[in-house]
Structures are given as C-alpha cells and as structure tokens.
Chains A and B, each alone.
Chain A
Amino acid sequence: MIDKLGMYLQYPFVRYALIVGILIALCSSLLGVTLVLKRFSFIGDGLSHVAFGAMAIAAVCDLTDEMLLVLPITIISAILLLRTGQNTRIQGDAAIAMISVGALAFGYLIMNIFSTSSNLSGDVCSTLFGSTSILTLTQKEVWLCIILSVAVVVIFVLFYNKIFAVTFDENFAKATGIKTERYNLLIAVVIAVIIVLAMNLVGSLLISALVIFPALSAMRIFRSFKGVTICSAVLSVVCALAGILISILAGTPVGSTIVAVDVAAFAVCYVAGRIGGRG
C-alpha cells in the first residue's frame, strides 16, 4: 500500500490535490467555529449554490476565467446574507434557504437551456459533488489557492480577538467602540472566498460539511474558544488528508470521502466528549 501511495505521489497532480485539499480544509475550519456559533451553519450551503449558479452563467457566457464572475457574485451574496442578521423582514435562515435553492434552480436551468456540452448531467453532477477537477488542477490554480489561503489565515490570526468579541457579543463589542459592521463584512468576504476555493474540492453540495463538521467536533471536546479553533483546524486538515489518501487508494470520489471521514471524526469526538463528562 505504501508503495502504491509512493507511486501516486510522484505525479504532480496528486501532490497538487493534497496541497490544495489541506489548505482549503484549514481555511474552511477556521471560520467554521464563528459561523456555527453565529447560527450561520447553512451559509456555506447557500453560498456554494450561488457559486454554482454563477458558474453556470460563466460557462454559458464562455468565459475563459470563471473566477472573475464567480468570486464577485459569491462575495456580494455573502455580504447580503450576513447583513440580514437582525431586524429584517426575512429571517436569516429563510434568506439563506431562498437564495440557496433559487440559485441552484437557476444554475441548472441556464445550463440546461444554453449548454453546448454533450454530457450535461455529468457536468452538473461534478459541480455539485466535486469531481476529478481537484485532480486536474493547473499550477496556476494551485498558486492562486496558496495565496488566497495564506491571506485567509493571516487575516484570521490578525483579527482573531476582534472576531471573538464580535461573535460572542455583538452589542457589547459595538458599545465598546468596535466597528462590528466592518468585521461582519470581513467575515462575509472571507467565507465567500473560501467557498469558491472549496468548490473544486468537494463540490457545492458538500461544502457545508467542510465548514461545520470540524467546528462541531471540536466543540464536543474543548471548552475555550482558542482550543476549539485550533482543534477544529487540526481535525479538518487530518480528515482532509485522510480523505484524499483513501480516495486515491480506493478510487472513491474525493469530496464525499473527505466528508465521510469528517462525519466519522465527529462521531469519535461526540463519544469522547460524552465519556469526558460533557454532553
């Protein structure tokens, strides 16, 4: 088995997939804790469907660089969704559900009507569930992913204390003079970037798993914010690594394998938390 793995690792595309997979897992887990605690677990789902719709439009318009369209549209949606947090006519969860389902429907509709591809259902399926696209990354895409991931991690570390304050008690933070709107905006932009990146890895249906599972698992075991954040990052990276390796060896789809490992990790953490005296 080690030999087989060694053989695979000689191919650059396998190495790319590992690098990108680990970076995305790291980034998505960092903000996962905040999103789960702010009751925005489903934003990953909503935004990824928006990204799917945007991708469909990009494909129809025959854009060479999809990112140029997908990223701005997703960021704008994220800002709109996170801004509806309080005092709006449509509640946060309803807004997310609305945008999510709407974008999914429109994306598929557009792809169906204007598609030039002969294998439409294959295309749709691979965008939804992630696909081989992580195994066909070009060097340029890998660099883009590395740069964005580093940016996300640096932003998170620099603003860690502010993010904590805004997550724990927005009113208090605002009263002590923190510009909470600015940090909510920052969180929205970062999460949008992460989701667009992660679409390559697990596809738009499974992104939520990458965002929420490590955070929820870590919350079973750790009691401080720092502990939960670090644990969820480590857990997410380990699960992604294991998932990718298993999928290479066993020939299973990458995205769903990673999520399956995440689910297993959650089960382990849940039991550990119970035994440790916490529910």
Chain B
Amino acid sequence: MALLTARDLSLGYDSRIIVSGLNFTVSSGDYLCIVGENGSGKTTLMKTLLGLKKPAGGQILAGDGLKANEIGYLPQQTVTQKDFPASVREIVLSGCQGRSKKRPFYSRDEKKLAEKNMDRMGIIPLARRCYRELSGGQQQRVLLARALCATGKVLLLDEPVSGLDPKVTAEMYELIAQLNHEGITIIMISHDIGSAVQYASHILHIGDSVFFGSKDEYLESSAGKNFMMQQKGGDGNDR
C-alpha cells in the first residue's frame, strides 16, 4: 500500500485555486521530485502534505501506518534562523519534539537518536558549534539531521540546495540519494530539473499541465520535454 495518496487534490489560498485535480501516490522507498514554475503551487502542496494547510478540495490519505507527525521536513531557511544563537546539538534535538508530546524534557533514547543522526550527516564535530556560524551546506546538514529525528520513513525537502555552491549541491544530492538507499522515502521540491531527473524515481510536475509518473515516462511526456527545454534556455535565472 502507498505511504501517501493524493486523491483529486486541489490547492489554493482563500478561494483562489492554484492547482486542481492532483492525483498521485508515494510508495515506500520512492524518490519523488516535485517540479514546476515559480508560483505553480509547489510550496503550497508541501504545506498541505505536512498538514500545515487544509486542502482546498480532495484529500490526502496516509497509509502503511504512517502517522501525520511522522514526516520529516527540511524547510527553506527563514530570516530568523540566520541569526539564531543555538548550538547544532540543540537544533537536532528539537527534531525529537514530536515524539515527546507530554514530557517537558528529552529522554535518553532521544538524545541517542539525535547523536546517531548527527553521525549520519557527519556533523558530530560541529555539535557544539553555533548554527549561525556554519556554512550553508553545513546548516542544511544540521536541518536534515533534525528532520531525520522526526521521522524514520518520509522526508519532505523544500529546495534543499537553494543558495548552495555547485560542489556542496552535488554533495547534498549524494547525501539525499544515500538516505533514499537506506530506505527513506524522499519527496523533494526542486528547481533543478537536471538533478531531479538524475536522482528521482518519480516526477510530479505541476503547473499549466499536471504530470505524474515515473522518471522515464516524464522524459517521454510533452510536459517533461517542454519544461526541460525551458530550463535549459533559462538556466540560472530562476532564483
């Protein structure tokens, strides 16, 4: 059974519908990339999947025993975080919050989990460093470790490589692919269609035309071909 199923989903703010008629499924172990032009509703879709927003219509079904708060989330960075005095360990630990609803403090298991995930991301040496002094790539690793504390199943990544230089971007993609190999389902919003088709197993294209299918199907589809052409033409201008 699928982890997440979107059935006739429509998204929008207030009464303005941005996208409608979305149907897709995410199965365990998938690597789904959500692509589309700016303003096509990618971030809105992500917020809806996370339960931060109610869908304007249709529904999202969670299967395979996936609970709503078992989704790990890597958000885009906010202005507040750029100047936030917090150590790496504190931030990673805060990913365990969803587990300890009633308890005010972290348990030993949660501290171990945080340690394990910092190790996975290779940021143990940074544990006591201040978040705002880290480089962009290191900050993303910290937030990824935090997201891993919140889930063992699904990661939602919102433009995980925006603002990173090419070398760090490549490392980040490798890291995500490795997590996918370890069995974690990945759902990623991306501007970078080239890398999307390189790593993803499935593509969801939203915009004027909606497409959902495997990567190979996407490359054959008209939506895919057009979008690839556009991106190649306007590479680098989309930020």
Kindly state whether residue B219 has any CB partner on chain A within 8 Å. Answer: no
Contacts of A169 in B (CB 8 A): 75, 78, 81, 94
Kindly state whether residue B73 has any CB partner on chain A within 8 Å. Answer: yes
Chain B residues within CB distance 8 Å of chain A? 47, 50-52, 68-69, 71, 73, 75, 78, 80-81, 83-87, 90-91, 93-95, 97-98, 100-101, 104-106, 128-130, 133, 146-147, 150
Kindly state whether residue A8 has any CB partner on chain B within 8 Å. Answer: no
Partner of B71, one of A160, A162, A175, A219: A175
* Contact B98 A177, beta carbon cutoff 8 Å: yes
20 pairs, CB–CB < 8 Å, chain A vs chain B? A37-B85, A158-B104, A160-B104, A161-B93, A164-B86, A164-B90, A164-B94, A169-B75, A169-B94, A171-B73, A172-B150, A175-B73, A176-B73, A176-B97, A176-B150, A177-B98, A223-B129, A224-B85, A225-B86, A226-B90
| Interface mask (A156-182 → B, CB under 8 Å = 1, otherwise 0) | 011111101101110111111110000
Minimal Cβ-Cβ distance residue in B for A173: B97
* Contact A178 B97, beta carbon cutoff 8 Å: yes
Partner of A177, one of B75, B84, B101, B146: B101
* Contact A174 B90, beta carbon cutoff 8 Å: no
Instruction: Tell me the complex Cα distance, A189–B216, Å.
Output: 55
Query: Size of chain A's interface in residues, with CB distance under 8 A?
Result: 30
Kindly state whether residue A108 has any CB partner on chain B within 8 Å. Answer: no
Question: What number of residue pairs across chains A and B have CB atoms under 8 A from each other?
Answer: 93
* Contact A224 B78, beta carbon cutoff 8 Å: no
User: Among residues 203 to 249 in chain A, which have CB atoms less than 8 Å away from a CB atom of chain B?
Assistant: 219, 222-228
* Contact A172 B84, beta carbon cutoff 8 Å: no
Instruction: Tell me the complex Cα distance, A39–B83, Å.
Output: 11
Least CB distance from B141 to A in Å reads 15
Chain A residues within CB distance 8 Å of chain B? 37-39, 157-162, 164-165, 167-169, 171-178, 219, 222-228
Instruction: Tell me the complex Cα distance, A273–B70, Å.
Output: 40
Instruction: Tell me the complex Cα distance, A225–B86, Å.
Output: 4
Least CB distance from B101 to A in Å reads 7
* Contact A224 B87, beta carbon cutoff 8 Å: yes
* Contact A165 B97, beta carbon cutoff 8 Å: yes
Contacts of A227 in B (CB 8 A): 85
Least CB distance from B214 to A in Å reads 27
Least CB distance from A93 to B in Å reads 14
Contacts of A228 in B (CB 8 A): 85
Q: Output the residue of A168, A171, A172, A173 with the most chain B CB within 10 A.
A: A172
Least CB distance from B48 to A in Å reads 11
Least CB distance from A85 to B in Å reads 11
Contacts of A173 in B (CB 8 A): 94, 97
* Contact B129 A177, beta carbon cutoff 8 Å: no
* Contact B52 A171, beta carbon cutoff 8 Å: yes
Contacts of A171 in B (CB 8 A): 47, 50, 52, 73, 75
* Contact B87 A223, beta carbon cutoff 8 Å: yes
Instruction: Tell me the complex Cα distance, A171–B48, Å.
Output: 12
Least CB distance from A169 to B in Å reads 7
* Contact A225 B85, beta carbon cutoff 8 Å: yes
Partner of A168, one of B94, B106, B133: B94
10 interchain residue pairs of minimum CB distance: A177-B69, A176-B98, A223-B130, A224-B87, A175-B50, A225-B86, A177-B98, A165-B94, A158-B104, A175-B73
